[in-house]
Structure 1
Amino acid sequence: MKKWAFVLACCLLTGCAKHAPAASSKVMIDYPKSEEITYSQTDTSMKALRVQKDQVYQGNLVLINKDHEVHPEGIQTDIVSLLNHQELINGFGLLDNTIELSQNVVEQFGKMVAAAAKDDVNHFVISSGYRDFAKQEQLYKEKGSDYALPAGNSEHNLGLALDIGSSLESMDQAPEGKWLKEHAADYGFILRYPADKTDITGIQYEPWHFRYVGLPHSKIMQSNNLTLEEYLDWLHEHNTVYVNVDGQRYEITYKEVRRETAFQIPANHTYELSGDNQEWVIATIKL
């Protein structure tokens, strides 16, 4: 579907031409059997992490689409008005002064923009970020299903998605769009609605809509040309994988959580948890 902000600014920020997936070297992935999962001697101190059911609806990998709604627990707790946080606006512009977004996502976006500037790509604009349910419902009533999603079914209600444009030309033609297609995954972002996956996402090609999922997930998805829907299915199929991305090794474990479950986490390693917005939780451990 088209996004309302880009309908209003289509001459500046939109495009409709199709594109091929970005070229990327394959990440290294291992598929161990459960009985083969071991840790090094430095990992012998393990802790059982108790995960409650509400974790299913929280995290960077929660699936939001027409069949999976945003739960209140899943909305980012660090939503800020960018107008009131000028220190976060470095190297990019805003389409208007009402834009809100997760502070963490803005910070990661800022790192990405700074990297692009080193390649002389520096005309980024954020057109839209977080929208609360009331604003989304109002837009849906005003614009209809051709231009908006119902309240609760839009990634913009989550705080992890943003619409990115260029002040030069449409995103499918602009240097900013081309740079993001190649490098966004290095900073944890994915192009959420690719041209060749409309039958899976249910949304037409949107070269401006990016979603933060974090590393190493963005790199795995880019390398294997996977949408978020396909990536979660892939994790579900394998349950546990080991991944080497840019010299860092990760363990990714996918477990069902009906009421409460325990993840065995090496005590001396950092980790992140994310639900899938269905019945499963993903633990991502740096090894």
Structure 2
Amino acid sequence: MKKSTKFLFIIMIAIILAILWFDRNNSSVIYHDPIEVEDENPLKIDVADVHQGELLLVNEEYGIKESAKTDIKNLYKNQELTGDYGLLTTDIALSKEITAYFNEMIEGAKKDGVNNFLISSGYRSFEEQTKLYQEKGRDYALPGGYSEHQLGLALDVGSSEGTMAEAAEGKWIAENAWQYGFVLRYPQAKTDVTGIQYEPWHIRYVGKPHSVIMQDKNFVLEEYLAYLREKEQISATVDGKEYNIRYYAVSKAKKVKIPKGYNYTISGDNVNGIIITLYK
């Protein structure tokens, strides 16, 4: 092979690898005009829907009475549900569904050579959260009823190699969790928005397309929900799938119209509205 041809070949390979790396580490999201359809079905929504789902805002201002998930399992006692990571204690519990999503994320990290994860905390009952608050105080814990850990959607992730602020596992989570439906809930640059100190270990499942849009717009959950309330409807294509996300303020039972031909999920915001995510 001539030197010039060999050089061009190397350049082409480098360009291809750069494109693949860029695509892998950036949001695959395209925004477009809201959908307009004439053929719709009515859907009844109720005030109770405001407090159910995967987009619930839980903090010092907005509390919960029950878990968002009903499939909570003790992971130590159900090892068949877990993946290639450790459990810090024998009482770690989490939603079975969210555990499966977490396992998928850990497999993705392994492909990048990052494989020293452990779960240090998962679901907490009201009593467990209250006890933690009494032991740690308000600077390090939230009172019972006001912690994301009571949702079954959040977990604290650690590394056997050091603190998450310094370990490769912490860096990987911060850069890649959104690709698997998770978000770093309390990032360092958003403490003024969340009201919570930087927690590089705390992740929360919100699901796609929401995690991808939040990553693309550099939103934490508070900002994302405010954005949806303002826009009321956004449409986007995420990873090749078409989504239409609609926000409705709800103070009493009402009927809304859902386009035919779309699947949908419903989540409340735990404030005064619900989000319907249409997709096909």
Q: TM-score when scaled to structure 1?
A: 0.85
2:68 pairs, out of 64, 75, 93, with 75
| Counterpart-to-counterpart distance in 2, 1:151 and 1:31 | 42
**Corresponding residue of 1:255:** 248
Aligned counterparts, 1:45-60, within 5 A = 46-60=40-54
Q: 1:118 is matched by which residue type in structure 2?
A: K
The alpha carbon displacement at 1:26 in A equals: 6.7
Identity %: 48
Which is higher, the Rg of structure 1 or of structure 2?
A: 2
The residue that corresponds to 1:125 in the other structure is 118
SS in 2 for 1:192: strand
Contact 2:27-2:212 at 8 Å conserved across structures: no
Greater RCO structure (CA 8 Å; 6+ sep)? 1
Task: Write out aligned runs for 1:124-203 (5 A).
Answer: 124-203=117-196
In the TM superposition, what are the counterparts of 1:92-103 in structure 2 within 5 Å? 92-103=85-96
Gaps of at least 5 residues in structure 2 are 1-24
In structure 2, distance between residues paired with 1:96 and 1:225: 33
Quote the RMSD (CA, aligned, Å): 1.5
Q: Deviation digits for residues 255-286 of structure 1, max 9, x if unmatched?
A: 01111122322343221100000110000011
8 Å Cα contact 2:245/2:276 also seen in 1: yes
Residue identity in the other structure for 2:72: I
CA distance in 1, matches of 2:165, 2:80: 29
SS for the counterpart of 2:186 is coil
Q: How many residues align?
A: 256
Provide TM-score, normalisation by structure 2. 0.87
What code does the residue aligned with 1:54 have? A
Q: Which amino acid aligns with 2:55?
A: L
Partner in structure 2 of residue 65 of structure 1:
59
Structure 2 letter corresponding to 1:46: E
After TM superposition, the runs of 4+ consecutive aligned structure 1 residues lying more than 3 A away are 23-26
- How far is the alpha carbon of 1:31 from its aligned partner? 4.8
Match of 1:19 in 2: none
Uncovered stretches (5+) of structure 1, i.e. residues with no partner: 1-22
What residue is the counterpart of 1:206 in the other structure?
A: 199
Query: How far, CA to CA, are the matches of 1:113 and 1:140 in structure 2?
Result: 30
Between 1:259-268 and 1:183-192, the stretch displaced more is 259-268
The answer as to whether partners of 1:31 and 1:240 remain within 8 angstroms in 2 is no
Aligned mates of 1:198, 1:144 — CA distance in 2:
18
1:277 partner SS: coil
Deviations 1:39-59 (A, max 9, x none): 4xxxx6532111111010000
- Pick the aligned partner of 1:228 from 218, 221, 241: 221
CA distance in 2, matches of 1:163, 1:206: 9
Q: How far, CA to CA, are the matches of 2:28 and 2:68 in structure 1?
A: 32
Q: Return the offset for 1:141.
A: 1.1
Could you tell me how far apart the structure 2 residues matched to 1:71 and 1:80 are? 19
Match of 2:26 in 1: 24
1:229-248 per-residue CA deviation (whole Å, 9 max, x = no partner) reads 00000000100000111111
Q: Which residue of 2 aligns with 1:38?
A: 36
Secondary structure at the aligned position of 1:208 is classed as: strand
* Deviation readout 1:114-168 (Å, 9 max, x if unpaired): 1111111111100000100111111111221122110011101111100001111
Q: Verify: 1:281 aligned to 2:269, yes or no.
A: no
